[in-house]
Amino acid sequence: MFDGRDVARIYVWEFRTFTFVLNFWLYLMCGERAGVKSASRSRLEKPRMWLAAPADGADLRGRLTVPQ
C-alpha cells in the first residue's frame, strides 16, 4: 500500500507542519510584538544612546545621554 517514498513524504509533511507551528508559537510568545518584554531580557539589554539637544543650541557632537 505505502512504499518508502510515501512514508518519507508523510514524514517531511509532518516535520514541516511541526516546525511551522513551533515557529509561529515562538513568534507569538517571544516576539517583539508580544507586548511586555520579560524582565530578564530587558535587564540584559544595553541601554540605547540618544543625541541630547542642548538648550543653548550648541554643537551636538559627542553629547550622548541615556533615555529615561
H helix runs in the chain, sequence order: 4-30, 39-44
CA distance 14 to 24: 15
Q: What is the DSSP letter of 49?
A: P
Q: What is the pLDDT of residues 16-53, one digit of tens each?
A: 999 999 999 888 887 666 555 555 555 555 555 555 55
Locus of grid cell 516576539: 31
pLDDT of residue 27: 84
pLDDT of residue 50: 56
Give the pLDDT band (50/70/90) at residue 3: confident
CA distance 23 to 31: 10
pLDDT of residue 41: 54
pLDDT of residue 62: 57
Between 1 and 24, residue with greater pLDDT? 24
Domain range summary for the chain, segments of one domain joined by +: 4-65
Per DSSP, the three-state class of 51 is: strand
